[in-house]
Amino acid sequence: MTLQPSTTIQPALFPAEDPMITVNGTRDCVQCTRATVLLDREHVPYEYIDLAREENQPKLAALRAAGFQQMPVIETPTERFSGFDPDRIKKAAVEVRQSLASPTPDLDSPSLAAR
């Protein structure tokens, strides 16, 4: 008998344009609540998607099709993973804080002008 790992980890589908964390879960999910409480403590922006709502059923179906079977499914700028994993959540929070702190290049700057 082979046991499947309880956590699914995948790279992000697309490079994130904004440094945001998305928590996909349900309101009655204890691990989902723990994840959002931890993100609140880390003081980073995140979006919560309630997968129990009718309008989010396509997202739930897509996550299931991608192999996610446990809540929450947390999407970071660099990866997607399922389950409450405090170390991964804190790592994502650090990435988001660094992204928010780094200055965006000025595309009109002479140093970036086409040569």
Task: Please state, as a whole number, how many other Cβ atoms lie within 10 Å of the Cβ of residue 56.
Answer: 15
Q: Phi and psi dihedrals of 74, rounded to 5?
A: -110, 125
For 15-69, what is each residue's pLDDT tens digit? 445 568 999 999 999 999 999 999 999 999 999 999 999 999 999 999 999 999 9
For 9-26, what is each residue's pLDDT tens digit? 555 544 445 568 999 999
Contact indicator for 90, 35 with CB cutoff of 8 Å? no
Which pTM value belongs to this model? 0.74
User: What pLDDT does residue 113 have?
Assistant: 46
